Chain A
């Protein structure tokens, strides 16, 4: 279960960085087979980026993909196996990337008139501020001061919705 894995990692000051929409009963195998999207993909990537290597049992025999940060050695077979729901083989073992647990998590709620939202979005995406998720209901978790500045300059109001 992903929830169990995350609890275990958090105790050791790590996080998987994977927060699927589905809820707490999701297993890692199902998440990989169906390629369930990650709410925090903007910072940690989708499940196929969090998974660094895997071994599969295929009709051709076992395949173990190479553990490299990035490569240019043909198509990335890891990405073909993830999301293909057991069609090409059953997943045996995966290597997942864990990240340090964030010291502080802030969710902001920002409101503007629709015109200025576009303006803010362009400045925000060009600013380099690293964020975990950006949802249509205008929430963003990111570098505070800069965001406050950009919001003010585009005529919006910003308030902290949740802080941990």
Chain B
């Protein structure tokens, strides 16, 4: 059966664009969910896709999907594979459709409805960084800067409802998309301005954005773009207490100021950040010294592991000791205007007890903003488990959410947190959890427990279980609680659009990690 499918696809795409060899199958078996690394270390085998193919046009994608449908094989759309929720794991094998060969920025034009602005038509397989560079050459920006910009595609952004670091100014990806072209599970192509036949009252983008590859494959998008901002300013402000800082952020967003970035680090995370940029000034002589004495560096590692075995000590210490919280705030736009906006924001901050630290912390954040994500592999190498949990809530529930999650996780792992992606309605919290148990299997077990507790605490506090990473497989078991009655509606949309129930590799079912 498999060879006839392979032959059909080779006839369609040519043998160079279809692969069934073990190397490719291994490369496409996972995304960047850290749980997959922990599973592999614990000796669990990953699921492999059966076949990978690389279409170059929307019609080819449609034909591949029709072939798969005919043979009742699951199909998984693959962009950059940078998701951290296991969204592309081929649980039932199937055909991996890698869209990165469909990567052109097609047209840019001005549109006058609802108000004059600029839009670009872009194929969904383009990498974020390439797209941004191409737009910059023409004097525009998408305004979307996730830390996965180097290895994520536009289609992936849309499928997962991602957010960039400047989302307070430019919005999340779902606020930037105006229309989509997509291929539905039975192979139908929905063009721009078209409608999904079974849901003619709804714009296709409302069904497909956030569907994480379960309801269709996005092939093109029409995105709102902005002329590049001529200037940018950044500043660091330190507060005595987390709640006064959150109050300040809320005021800033609700008076109508639009900072491009507004990030608040909690006490522990602020200390690490401060250590980070002061260490930079000292040119990291400490690290070089340690590397020449392997005994000392292993001592440092053992100390770190010992600390992680009793994470609640250091966290309780921080709650008792007076510690500052660091707020990074930045603006982008016309030079005079942003100077004025920054002054207004500082005025709001100074209504609480706050110290203006100047632009250095802001510039340091700007320099290191993508590098933080790349530190995770180091920790995973050192036999720790590490992951990021991002949730969101409206302002009235935010602090309770923060306290609730920390209380649940305190005894099990180190919890760092920062608040970012602020809006006038609320804000998101980004927790980084680091723990160590001593064995790979125990790490995996502890990791799963951490997620279970964090998700439970989030739902109890009335927050949402994911702000921009998406559900994937990692959070699938809590999606029903999050959506409530809408879960049935979601499953119905899927079953009505899908020819065969097993067609898509993933159902948002009770499959947990």
Q: Do A and B come from one complex?
A: yes
Taking Cβ atoms with an 8 Å cutoff, the residues of A that contact B are: 37, 41-43, 49, 52, 58, 60-77, 79-80, 83-85, 87-88, 97, 99-100, 102, 118, 121-123, 125-130, 133-136, 143, 145-146, 149-150
Which residues of B sit under 8 angstroms from A83, Cβ to Cβ? 201-202
Minimum Cβ distance to chain B for residue A57 (Å): 10
Which residues of A sit under 8 angstroms from B336, Cβ to Cβ? 145-146, 149
Known: A83-B201, A127-B229. A73 touches B464 (CB 8 A): yes
A73 touches B483 (CB 8 A): yes
A134–B117 Cα distance when bound, in Å, is 10
Residue B82 lies at the interface, judged by CB distance under 8 Å to chain A: no
A67–B228 Cα distance when bound, in Å, is 33
**How does the 8 Å CB contact mask read for B450-463 relative to A, with 1 for contact and 0 for none?**
00000000000011
A58 touches B485 (CB 8 A): yes
Closest to A64 in B: B484
Taking Cβ atoms with an 8 Å cutoff, the residues of B that contact A are: 110, 112, 114-118, 139, 160-163, 169, 172, 174-175, 199, 201-202, 206-212, 215, 226-230, 254-256, 258, 260, 331-334, 336-338, 340-341, 392-394, 421, 423-428, 462-471, 479, 482-486, 488-490, 492-493, 508
A88–B207 Cα distance when bound, in Å, is 14
Which residues of B sit under 8 angstroms from A129, Cβ to Cβ? 333-334, 337
B116 touches A65 (CB 8 A): no
Which residues of B sit under 8 angstroms from A79, Cβ to Cβ? 206
Known: A77-B486, A135-B115, A145-B336. A72 touches B469 (CB 8 A): yes
Closest to A87 in B: B201
Which residues of B sit under 8 angstroms from A63, Cβ to Cβ? 484-486, 489
A135–B488 Cα distance when bound, in Å, is 42
Which residues of B sit under 8 angstroms from A80, Cβ to Cβ? 199, 202, 206-207
Minimum Cβ distance to chain A for residue B268 (Å): 24
B227 touches A73 (CB 8 A): no
A74 touches B483 (CB 8 A): yes
A36–B118 Cα distance when bound, in Å, is 22
A75 touches B114 (CB 8 A): no
A128 touches B471 (CB 8 A): no
Kindly identify which residue among A58, A69, A130, A134 contacts B256, using a CB–CB cutoff of 8 Å: A130
A68–B458 Cα distance when bound, in Å, is 12
Minimum Cβ distance to chain B for residue A52 (Å): 6
Minimum Cβ distance to chain B for residue A76 (Å): 6
Find the residue from A60, A84, A127, A130 having the highest chain B CB count within 10 A. Answer: A127
A60 touches B172 (CB 8 A): no
Known: A74-B508, A145-B336. A85 touches B227 (CB 8 A): no
Known: A61-B485, A80-B206, A99-B424. A70 touches B331 (CB 8 A): no
Find the residue from B163, B230, B334 having the highest chain A CB count within 10 A. Answer: B334
Kindly identify which residue among B139, B210, B228, B464 contacts A66, using a CB–CB cutoff of 8 Å: B464
A60 touches B489 (CB 8 A): yes
A74 touches B174 (CB 8 A): no
Minimum Cβ distance to chain A for residue B132 (Å): 15
B174 touches A76 (CB 8 A): yes
Closest to B230 in A: A126
A100 touches B202 (CB 8 A): no
B485 touches A71 (CB 8 A): no
Kindly identify which residue among B199, B334, B479, B489 contacts A77, using a CB–CB cutoff of 8 Å: B489
Which residues of A sit under 8 angstroms from B333, Cβ to Cβ? 126-129
Nearest 9 CB-CB pairings of A with B: A128-B333, A69-B426, A127-B334, A126-B227, A68-B464, A63-B485, A72-B161, A134-B115, A71-B464
20 more CB-based (< 8 A) A-B contacts, given A77-B489, A143-B340: A49-B175, A66-B484, A68-B394, A69-B426, A69-B428, A70-B467, A71-B467, A72-B467, A72-B468, A73-B471, A75-B209, A80-B202, A83-B201, A83-B202, A122-B139, A125-B226, A127-B230, A128-B169, A128-B258, A145-B336
A84 touches B202 (CB 8 A): yes
B393 touches A71 (CB 8 A): no
A77–B479 Cα distance when bound, in Å, is 13
Closest to A44 in B: B424
A-B contact pairs, 30 of them (CB 8 A): A60-B489, A66-B483, A67-B462, A68-B463, A69-B423, A70-B392, A70-B467, A71-B161, A72-B471, A73-B465, A74-B479, A75-B490, A75-B493, A76-B206, A77-B489, A77-B490, A79-B206, A97-B425, A102-B256, A121-B110, A122-B139, A123-B230, A126-B228, A127-B230, A128-B260, A128-B341, A130-B258, A134-B115, A143-B337, A146-B334
Find the residue from A37, A60, A102, A145 having the highest chain B CB count within 10 A. Answer: A60
Known: A52-B425, A130-B258. A67 touches B490 (CB 8 A): no
A84–B489 Cα distance when bound, in Å, is 14
A77–B161 Cα distance when bound, in Å, is 13
A67 touches B483 (CB 8 A): no
